[in-house]
């Protein structure tokens, strides 16, 4: 990134369990930028949890809110923005992200993702993984196989801790 880019955002995309929220928080602290999480903004706007939103209004309605929040957040600059794993599914969202800043995709292998999303703290939080989480991750990974390829940079987090990923990204940002 060069000096002219400093008013833009860094947008973190990736499948559930890739560490978007943690990396986004660490990176924002290191850069002294605002930290935003679109899932949290959606919950604030709706006054409901994502789980409630999915079960009461359905996924489409959640996706509409997601698009709205993404546009609104990215109308400002100098923020590190963590997005939900499905925010990349709409083409209009991908365009909003690409014009709002630098898009970073985090990936991890299937086994790590399953381990992370089924950990005690994460279990039951994600409506799309209700039921057999392992099977759901497998199916969703298959349908989203190329969904994150549009990013400017792709970082594999399988063997990296969130702080290692942050260091790597900082080197890229400052280069
Ligand atoms: C979703 C991922 C979730 C959340 C919602 C839908 C998805 O965010 O936005 O449950 O479609 O992959 P995380 O990726 O932060 O878990």
Residue nearest to atom 8 of ligand 1 (CA): 84
Indicate whether residue 97 lines ligand 1 (CB < 6 A). no
Q: What is the pLDDT of residue 154?
A: 97
In order of 120, 126, 141, the CA distances from 81 in angstroms are 25, 19, 22
Task: Pick the atom of ligand 1 nearest to 39's CA.
Answer: 9
Q: What is the pLDDT of residue 120?
A: 74
Q: What is the pLDDT of residue 5?
A: 56
Task: Pick the atom of ligand 1 nearest to 66's CA.
Answer: 9
Backbone angles phi, psi at 172, to 5 degrees: -70, -45
CB 79 within 8 A of CB 87: no
Distance 87 CA to ligand 1 centre (A): 8
Q: What is the pLDDT of residue 1?
A: 57
Indicate whether residue 50 lines ligand 1 (CB < 6 A). yes
> CA-CA distance, 19 to 28, in Å (whole number)?
14
pLDDT < 50 stretches in the chain: 2-4
Helix axes of 59-73 and 50-57: crossing angle, nearest 10 degrees: 130
pLDDT digit string, tens, across residues 149-173: 999 999 999 999 999 999 999 999 8
| Pair of tokens at residue 175 | 């280069």
Indicate whether residue 127 lines ligand 1 (CB < 6 A). yes
Strand 79-82's sheet: what is its strand order? 34-37, 79-82, 9-14, 101-107, 153-156
Q: What is the pLDDT of residue 125?
A: 85
Stated length of the chain = 175
């Amino acid at each position: 990134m060069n000096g002219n880019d400093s008013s833009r955002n860094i947008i973190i995309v990736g499948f559930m369990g890739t560490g978007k929220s943690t990396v986004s928080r660490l990176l924002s602290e290191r850069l002294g930028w605002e930290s935003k999480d679109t899932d949290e903004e959606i919950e604030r706007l709706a006054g409901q949890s994502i789980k409630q939103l999915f079960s009461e209004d359905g996924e489409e309605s959640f996706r509409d809110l997601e698009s709205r929040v993404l546009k609104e957040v990215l109308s400002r600059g100098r923020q590190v923005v963590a997005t939900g794993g499905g925010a990349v599914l709409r083409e209009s969202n991908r365009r909003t992200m690409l014009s709002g800043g630098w898009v970073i995709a985090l990936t991890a292998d299937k086994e790590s993702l399953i381990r992370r999303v089924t950990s005690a703290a994460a279990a039951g939080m994600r409506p799309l993984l209700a039921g057999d989480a392992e099977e759901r991750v497998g199916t969703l990974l298959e349908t989203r196989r190329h969904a994150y390829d549009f990013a400017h940079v792709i970082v594999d987090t399988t063997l990296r801790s969130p702080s290692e990923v942050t260091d790597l990204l900082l080197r890229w940002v400052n280069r």
